[in-house]
Amino acid sequence: MPRGLVRVVVNPISGRGQDRGLLERLALHLRLRHFPVQVLRTEGPGHARRLAAETPDDAHCIISIGGDGTHREVLAGLVGRPVPVVVVPCGTENVFARTFRLTGTLREILDLVQRGRQVALDVGQADGHSFVLFSGVGFDAEVTRLVHERRRGPIDRAAYYGPVGRLWWRYRFPRLRVTVDGRTLTEDAGVVVVANTPRYADRLRVAPGARADDGLLDVVCYRTRSRWTLLRHYVQTKLGTHVRDPDVRLERGRRVEVACDSGAVPVQADGDRIGSTPMTYTIRPQAVRILLLSRDPKGSATP
């Protein structure tokens, strides 16, 4: 008996490129299970979102194959709609996959399509740009800009080392003013992360208490005036001790505003540059759906 459409959205330049053999085997196995299959490759920024938005509401699911930016676009095209997403990690950092314990094997993908349970996730909004994981203001967003300006195809983590090193020596940290639900949290943050989930790039748990299903955004503000302070914050965050540092402020809320009086500061979301300050963040509770396996802990959207 025919089943609902499975649309496979593939970013061919995510991470180190795509495994064509996986795509061919995946399409074959889905068709053997009587799923109509469409395999669509993205052609540039914003295309994954358009492909998701064009997917009919009665589709069985979308399989998103790519990096965190690809998954962000696919989910952004489905905000407020019933179509669930199977996330397949094929990027550089794969923060989404690590957060939700996804491996991207053929067996896992097929199990998710056939037996996955729907889990609703909140979606952060940064001046109209959707994100599911996190948004960074300052240093990391500038690194993201430099990497993507030079990108011509698949990349790996080494592509970030040069920009990080150069910026570490010459970056001038701004004074960022952060307001959460109308209350001023700080007026002199150097780096700000607005998080919907705990994990960040490089396996950092920047916002350890964040959950993707609580209707709230977690805000982490690092007071940073020099590259040495930034290095200290990095080490502490790697160790998980940054939450006890008096130069780190944490808060939780539904509306976050980040501004800088001395000029525009770059902003990224889920690894993609989206603009600059001033930036206003809001949250749309349980606005998208993903498919997870029953082994995930106690129905929790975020481990």
Instruction: Please tell me the distance from the alpha carbon of residue 116 to that of residue 119, in angstroms, as a whole number.
Output: 9
pLDDT, position 303:
54
Continuous H helices in the chain: 20-32, 47-53, 68-76, 95-99, 106-115, 139-150, 158-170, 227-239
Domains, the chain: 6-115 (3.40.50.10330), 129-285 (2.60.200.40)
pLDDT at 159 over 80: no
Residue 287 CA, distance from chain mean position: 15
pLDDT at 299 over 80: no
Of the pLDDT bands very low, low, confident and very high (cuts 50, 70, 90), residue 171 is: confident
Closest CA to 73 of 126, 129, 127: 129
pLDDT, position 2:
61
Q: 178 near 184, Cβ under 8 Å?
A: yes
pLDDT at 101 over 90: yes
pLDDT, position 296:
45
When pLDDT is averaged across residues 246-254 and rounded to a whole number, the result is 97
Of the pLDDT bands very low, low, confident and very high (cuts 50, 70, 90), residue 1 is: low
Q: Which of 9-18, 154-163, 224-233 has the highest mean pLDDT?
A: 224-233
Q: What is the CA radius of gyration of the chain?
A: 19
pLDDT at 93 over 50: yes
pLDDT, position 18:
57
pLDDT at 83 over 50: yes
